[in-house]
Structure 1
Amino acid sequence: MELLKEYVDLCIFAILGLMAVVALYLCIERILFFWGVKFERYRSSDELEDALLKNMTGLYIIYSNAPYVGLLGTVVGIMVVFYDMGASGGMDTQSIMVGLSLALKATALGLVIAIPVLMIYNLFARKIERILYAYRRYIGEDK
């Protein structure tokens, strides 16, 4: 249990940090792609749609799973607090509250990552709809 106690925060924060870095990379990549879309490069709206949707699944996976990774850290942190309580034969209230509040930081970090990525995902989904509409008008499909 000592090993778990020592490395749970490091592992959970490393996973959430990696998720944040990947999300940032995907967001920057999509912004640059949307900025440089040229309709002349695409022969059909399906081809453009495939290009527009690239990497959106990665953002979806991150925003939907970051809270669960944070929750896992919280649950393990609470388990460690309960283990310490049982092993010591009793703890003062202050130690229990500090341990529980530290365990909750993983869930907070998971939400801090998930909420902005969700907002960006929805913004990109709307941008994709607008680009596809403009493309269909450009090629004369939608009048």
Structure 2
Amino acid sequence: MESAPQSLSVVQLILDATLPVQFIMALLVLLSIISWMHIFNKWRSLGKANRHVENFERLFWSGTDLNTIYQRVATEPDSVGTEKIFAAGFGEFMKLRRQPGGELSDIMDGTRRAMKAAAQREIDELDRHTAFLATVGSISPYIGLLGTVWGIMHAFIGLGNAGTATLATVAPGIAEALIATAIGLFAAIPAVIGYNRFSHEVDRLALRFDTFMEEFSNILQRQASRMPLSN
């Protein structure tokens, strides 16, 4: 009695694939590994940023003296987000206040510029590597499709050389082609999900930065209007 044909092994199909398809699979696996590294690192960094924002805003609105908060934040080595925005704004405000002949409007303009520059640096840092995730999410299916096209083409060339159209001669080439497509999707889907999630988180933090800068500017302006300008 004739034995049933053995089922195709995914690992064996990858090992038996043509060199271009193996290269495409290896490239997609590499992109997937790098994407997951960025996803985990971004998840940790955004979680840290959110915790720091929550803790700092709780301290800021607790009524603690601004000079005390500034001394605490300025000496903290791992300050992020609103902490750095506050330190940049308050430091610039105090520096401009000590300069003789300064107008209140000029002091506040300088303070806002310092905070906006600090906020932009923070956003750039939080947004780092999200463009890579977007790129992987957009190109990985096409790279996998290239492997699919090459695998199917190789399968039909082999079929033409064999001269007989049997499932055993066509199946391996088509199977390796479909594996390339699957790896492309495996690399793309997490990258797209990560990009969308992290972009939303960065936008939300950027909005909180803008809100804090406006509120802090109003506090400094009220404080400065009650204090005599340096002569």
Q: TM-score, with normalisation over the residues of structure 1? A: 0.85
Q: Does 1:84 align with 2:155?
A: no
Structure of higher CA gyration radius? 2
Answer yes or no: is the 8 Å Cα contact 1:67–1:107 preserved in 2. Answer: yes
Q: Which runs of 5+ in 2 are unaligned?
A: 1-15, 50-79, 86-114, 219-231
The equivalent position to 1:96 in structure 2, one of 151, 164, 170, is 170
* C-alpha distance in structure 1 between counterparts of 2:22 and 2:174, whole Å: 17
What SS does the corresponding residue of 1:122 show, helix, strand or coil?
helix
Report the equivalent of 1:118. Answer: 192
Q: What TM-score comes out, normalization by structure 2 length?
A: 0.55
| In structure 2, distance between residues paired with 1:119 and 1:5 | 30
Q: Distance in 1 between matches of 2:46 and 2:171?
A: 48
C-alpha separation between the residues in 2 aligned to 1:117 and 1:6?
27
Q: What secondary structure is seen at the aligned counterpart in 1 of 2:165?
A: coil
Cα 1:27–1:5 change in 2 (3 A) is closer
Instruction: Give CA deviations for 1:80-132 in whole Å, capped at 9, x if unaligned.
Output: 10110111222313432343233111111111221121111100011011111
Counterpart in the other structure of 1:65: 139
Question: How far did residue 8 of structure 1 move?
Answer: 3.1
Percent identity between matched residues is 28
User: d(CA) in 2 for partners of 1:116 and 1:47?
Assistant: 27
Runs of 4+ deviating beyond 4 Å: none
Q: Is the 8 A contact 2:17 2:173 kept in 1?
A: no
Measure how far apart 1:29 and its partner are.
Answer: 1.9
For 1:69 and 1:50, locate their aligned partners in 2 and report how far apart those are by CA, in whole Å: 29
Matches of 1:101 and 1:5, distance apart in 2: 10
Bigger Cα displacement from structure 2, 109-118 vs 90-99: 90-99
Aligned to 1:134: 208
Q: How many positions carry a matched residue from both structures?
A: 139
Structure (1 or 2) with the greater helix fraction: 1
CA RMSD of the aligned region, Å? 2.1
Contact 1:5 1:80 in 2 (8 A): no
For 2:141 and 2:170, the matched residues in 1 are separated by 24
2:67 counterpart of 1:55: no
